[in-house]
Amino acid sequence: MSPEYSIVIPAYNEARRITATLEKVLAYLTEQAWDAEIIVVNDGSRDATAAIVSEFAEQYAAVRLVENPGNRGKGFSVRNGMLQARGQWLLFTDADLSSPIEEAPKLFGALKAGADVAIGSRWLERQSQTKRQPLFRQIIGRVFNGLLHGILRLPYKDTQCGFKAFTYQAAQELFSRQLVVRWAFDPELLFLARKLKMRVDEVPVAWAHDKLSTIRPFRDGPRMFGELLLIRWNSLLGRYRL
């Protein structure tokens, strides 16, 4: 039988922290008595990430390792995990748990209240940020958000928080259409949700900056900008029709 909840965790070279992450998530699921699965998607890691997750999978039936065909990007990993998830309510979270797993009921609550998609937001209630980003990252984030408004007409305060939940039906509709596999996949999903007239709730969540973040603003920023233009271009060409 399918579980009620699916937790998808994309992972690339996460050997340093994936053990602590899985222990926290498993402990919380046990505490809540949730019928849930945890899907860790290994994105071609060069370290022991896959081996560690395999050990957990042998010990805990709820844990499942999914392997990408090499290093394909975070967006590819999330899509791969979401399309293989079997739960009624699906959530993806970053491997660093910048938003604690304890915040998941906020997003699931929004889904159960009628939303198709619920996105965690660091900016609706700024006091919820227990450890804020460095100032230059905040500035770059604001600039990127302005571009989102201008290019994709997205009205949300925060599209990049790696803590989002979907109904099973919404996940199938959105991830089967997703084309961007790197950093701008979040805006693409939200753009598609608006095109499909889905209800998207933005929910304030606790969040803490992780200094081990792999995003490099000056390297990845131009790529993300290019991907925003690509999303608009894909839409104009009708590439999001099934």
Whether residue 190 is contained in a domain is answered as yes
What is the mean pLDDT, run by run of 10 residues, along the chain of 242 residues? 95 97 98 98 98 98 97 97 98 96 98 98 70 60 73 90 96 97 93 97 87 58 85 94 77
For residue 141 the two structure tokens come to 């984030």
pLDDT of residue 183: 83
For residue 218 the two structure tokens come to 């000056």
pLDDT of residue 224: 81
CATH code of residue 229:
3.90.550.10
Alpha-carbon span 89 to 98, nearest angstrom: 20
Using DSSP, state whether 176 is helix, strand or coil: coil
Alpha-carbon span 8 to 63, nearest angstrom: 10
Whether residue 71 is contained in a domain is answered as yes
Strand (E) or helix (H) holding 107: helix 104-112
Whether residue 102 is contained in a domain is answered as yes
Count structural domains, the chain. Answer: 1
pLDDT of residue 32: 97
pTM score over 0.75: yes
Domain limits for position 187: 5-236
Alpha-carbon span 152 to 217, nearest angstrom: 20
pLDDT of residue 124: 74
Distance of CA 159 to the CA centre of its chain: 10
